[in-house]
Structure 1
Amino acid sequence: MRPTLQPLTLDVAIVMAERNSPRIKQSQALVQQYEAGIQTARAYSNPSLEIYEGHQYARPISTPAVPGLLQHYAGYQPIEIPSERRARLHGAQQLAASARFAEQGTALAVTARVSHAFYDALRRREEIQQARENLVLVEDLRRRVEVEVNVGEKGRLELTRAEAELARAHFDVRSAELEYATAIAALRVAIAAPPDALLDPEGALEARIDLPPAGQLRADVLRTHPAVAQSQAEIDAAKSSLERERAARIPQPTVFAEFENQPDLRYWRAGVTVPLPLFDRRRGQIEAAKAAVTRADAGLDQSRLELLGALERAAEQYQLADQQVAALESGSLHAAQSAVEAAKAAYRFGERGIVEVLDAQRVLQSVRGDLVDAQFARQSALVDLEELGALPPKARP
């Protein structure tokens, strides 16, 4: 049984991607990993227990010891430095927060990728429709020329030109179908659909909208994009690591208690051991932590620069594509359509040859292709703006 076409809307495609995307699963696993790190940071050090047992022998001396069983028991418990523990726990919490923001950024990127692939498939399908419409027109024109050649009204050269244009129209259809197959394959990968799924995207390119002022767009991006919050969480985690290294300079004491049973006596004692920071005062670790803070600060600045640069490119692309769409719809498209009709009329009355008609038809086909490309470029820029957080998803006027 052959698989049937599966109608696919953009919303359904995004849901499928969120459910099946390996990238999202990776980011979710990373969140779980860092949340487990919080539990690790919250745990206390385990105590140690020592048990010795042996036998005591008497030596041949004037005052020998009493022979018999010898037993020794001891327990040790490291005492954590409160400031080091707080810094360790706070750092783990910030790393988990960073992972959660990274997960949000991954979800945005996956959604944008699905949207790009979905609209590209719609674009390629529109190109197929235009190529087939052009093929129908060229076939009709070729039939008319053949009739006129057969009755002697036109020369054989006119039919040759029409057949050459017909071959080109067939090639354009096959090329458009190949581009559509490539776009569907990319969409299947984007939503992680099964290889045998036959996808049938349903939708249309969205109408234009008026963008908010540039200052508002920049403020919205810097306020809402997860990359900024992720970088800030990484800064906090790096600062916590620095505080932890500084706190680690404080010697960590270990309390102990022991009991020993000898054949002729018993005793117990308790005490504390404290390491002396004479040779290693953690200067290297502290300097490394300071460098990590500096690097995290630079990462935040870099994230902001990249976001603002991407915003500027997307907004500029949207404006230019929108202007191109308006120009094509209001001028070039109507002019090309009128030129085709005029060329056909002139050809019927014998005032023009087949070459003029074919040239006019090619110009119309080119203008229609340019219009589809401009509409897709505008839609692509809109998707980028939504990914950046400059616009809410599916923004409308």
Structure 2
Amino acid sequence: MQIFSFWNFLLVIHLIFLTPFVYAQATVRLTVEELQRVGLQANGLVQAARSQVNMAKAGVIAASAFLNPEVTVIAGPDDRRLPFDLTGPGTMQRTLTVNQGIENPFMRNARIGASEAGVDASRASFDQVRADLAAQLKVRAYELLLRIEQAALEQNIYDLLNEVRRRIAVNVERGEVARFELIRADTELQSAANRMEAAQLTAQRARVVLLQLTAGAIPNNFEIQASLKDPINLPSLDSLRQELPSVNPDIIRLQAEQERAKLRIDQEKASVLPQINFLYTNYQDAQFASNLAGVSVRIPLLYQRRGEIDTAIYDSARIRETLEYRRYEISQLFEAAWQSLQIAQRRVDMFEGGLIKEAENAVKVAEAAYKFGERGLIEFLDSQRILRGILGDALLARFDLQSAVAEIDRLRAHYPKELIPE
């Protein structure tokens, strides 16, 4: 019974100390959308852009505020300048003045509208930052998959050459092959080892880039639950062309800024109108009390804000021209991304249409011929280099395909918005 309790005690101690280590080493698997969600929530640039939206909303509150009244209180004793017999005792004077400005409703409405347009512009800039980051995260995620595939390819080549080198070494010991073949095999093996190490380091660097973009919100041992062979889900070309001008954040931002510039023109023109202040004064002394009311009007006779109005007009023209140019530029960027997508798709179809299979068969034939002494080592290595180049180009073609999709998604601001709190 004591032995049983002792073993139970050891088991409990083992679980206590081993369980945290097991959980710490557990690999976290993330889909591309989950990676985008984490990055969009943790990245500091996104948080800063969200603060800009909140600042713009606060500006609407400030623009909607009414003018505060001005209250002036004046009090003091009277000093006698004549004898007491003529003036009597000294008195105390008190004056209360209230000045309430009445804001021009046209200028007020234009100011509020300009602030609301500023909110729309800030929100569009916020969407642009999120779309850029989401696209970058997607590209970097597939780049990590690309680098991992390249490292695995180089590992396979290294293993194959290592096996060939072992066979050559055995034949050299038997005297069936010249030692020069072993030297050549060692050289090829060392070259493959260098490529394999470089590919592994490149994959690690791609992992570090993703950690940087997500601000360290994901563990170091994460894995991307995706593949370079993921299907492409995009609307038709005509649908994308019609959708793009209405959803691109940069176009939406410039449209909001153009509306704000127009309202600023209205605001400057409305400020030329006379400004009215209502005045009320209460006066009291020892004998009298008076209440006075009046109106103060500021009339713009000498200067009618010509400079401010012209500045607002030219600023509106600048934004309008920028908007037209950006519309054209974004449409051309989309067309270029679509062409890149088509080119990458054709390359993928070419490699998968039989080119890779033919290169693999050529390597198998060359390897078999080399084993039977019908071909030399050079022919075998040449066929292996051709296969490595074709496989590498096929991986790059798939990566280019996913990158083109990410660029199209960036231009149309397509990312998991429903997962992002406003």
User: How high is the TM-score relative to the length of structure 2?
Assistant: 0.88
Task: Map residues 1-397 of structure 1 onto 2, 5 A cutoff.
Answer: 3-4=24-25, 5-60=27-82, 64=87, 67-194=90-217, 197-207=220-230, 209=232, 214-389=237-412
Distance 1:194 1:27 in 2: 19
Residue of structure 1 in register with 2:7 after alignment: none
State the Cα RMSD in Å: 2.1
Distance 1:285 1:180 in 2: 56
| Equivalent pair of 2:366/2:375 in contact (CA under 8 Å) | yes
| Equivalent pair of 1:78/1:254 in contact (CA under 8 Å) | yes
Distance 2:177 2:45 in 1: 63
Shift of 1:216: 3.6
Distance 2:283 2:229 in 1: 84
Shift of 1:337: 1.4
Distance 1:212 1:192 in 2: 32
| Equivalent pair of 1:16/1:192 in contact (CA under 8 Å) | no
Distance 2:86 2:324 in 1: 79
Shift of 1:56: 0.6
| Equivalent pair of 1:218/1:390 in contact (CA under 8 Å) | no
Shift of 1:352: 1.4
Distance 1:276 1:220 in 2: 50
Shift of 1:196: 6.2
Distance 2:404 2:132 in 1: 14
Query: What secondary structure does 1:44 align onto?
Result: coil
Distance 1:375 1:74 in 2: 78
| Equivalent pair of 1:70/1:261 in contact (CA under 8 Å) | yes
Moved more, 67-76 or 38-47: 67-76
Query: What secondary structure does 2:298 align onto?
Result: coil
Structure 1's 212 and 55: CA in aligned 2 closer, same or farther, altered over 3 A?
A: closer
Distance 1:52 1:212 in 2: 74
- Residue type matched to 1:114 in 2? L
Number of residue pairs the alignment of both structures matches: 393
Structure 1's 67 and 390: CA in aligned 2 closer, same or farther, altered over 3 A?
A: closer
- Residue type matched to 1:82 in 2? P
Shift of 1:108: 1.3
Shift of 1:118: 0.6
Query: What secondary structure does 1:72 align onto?
Result: strand
- Residue type matched to 1:19 in 2? Q
After superposition, the C-alpha distances for 1:268-301 in whole angstroms (9 at most, x for unaligned) are 2110111121222100000011011112212211
| Equivalent pair of 2:52/2:122 in contact (CA under 8 Å) | yes
- Sequence identity of aligned pairs in percent? 28
After superposition, the C-alpha distances for 1:216-273 in whole angstroms (9 at most, x for unaligned) are 4322211222222221111111111110000000121111110111233322211011
- Residue type matched to 2:288 in 1? L
- Residue type matched to 1:198 in 2? N
Structure 1's 392 and 198: CA in aligned 2 closer, same or farther, altered over 3 A?
A: closer
